[in-house]
A and B are shown apart, each in its own frame.
Chain A
């Protein structure tokens, strides 16, 4: 399966997908770790995909979204942003709203 098909399938079959360096349990990059912290704080179920496991995935995801860096967060198949944008949205409460709009459960304390 071409890498683009794999990515397309992942983002469309999971509500929330985070393409990151490392895993949610062991992020291997500060930026990926920040997004993991935000998602965990919100108690959002998500699928973490480790781009370090495959150079095709690492480069393929950048082409797929026309976004040059990792991490990349997708909600319901839509690219939401990288670390800066996710942090900015979280601080403004926009991320919580986007998740609720997408029907994704968010912890009450957020």
Chain B
């Protein structure tokens, strides 16, 4: 005899340990199976776009740091690149190299957190997370050495970076990039063939490439579905065309692939950092741009490959000291578009893993 079932609505969040911040998920369940979900966001909407339009260009750099607080370097770099394009100024060689080193370190730090969270989500409460944090702290120490902050750096400036690297930075970085591959191998030993992780992630939450493209998904989530779109390669910015690195892709597009994708990208980032350190030239790190800038009228769109995907800044200048329009193309927000298709039909416990494997940051979604 088939049992009759009735759907019920389960509200998850906005404050919930597994929602990566203040995200609310209204799930309709039939037994344990999710039959409908509605993501509700905006609980961290701080109005950054409006605030940025009310402040001078220079004062918006700290706001950009606070967009994605796990990848502050990448975000402020994208913003200063957009303003530099508006102003038509160039950046000294050494500053370009320093920027690349910083954003690639930031990518590793961010992916460490993402991988740790996926492991958390499947129930290994905080054990792999602690391993990831051990290395993340070392990256934060490197940032601390350069700019005195652990999380929100305010290091990028129009026409370069705020100041040169301290003397002790390069030896410390060299030590780190020599040790990090060993640590990544250690994660693989712990996780890659782990029975529980395989059962909980293989084949779960498949994102087909056609859907991913149609939904404008970007970053590791897109590449795990087999689409090799990486802005560093398809629209090279800064000095990325000088480095040798691969764009790893996966084929299945499930949670396991999204986790593996991030591990591979960490290795590629290490390759880039190693080459950048070898080629690092001497010279100026800042091309004396006045603090108050007045870009000429016009609009500009700059996109970069942030750890979570394609981050874009659309700026409109009316010739005054403040941006007329300041828009952020936030990868985390747009990566949520196919969430319904990915989750519906899976059990509630899988929904949390699928959600975690997209790797979102609320600060960037809500802005």
Partners in one complex: no
Interface residues of A (CB under 8 A from B): none
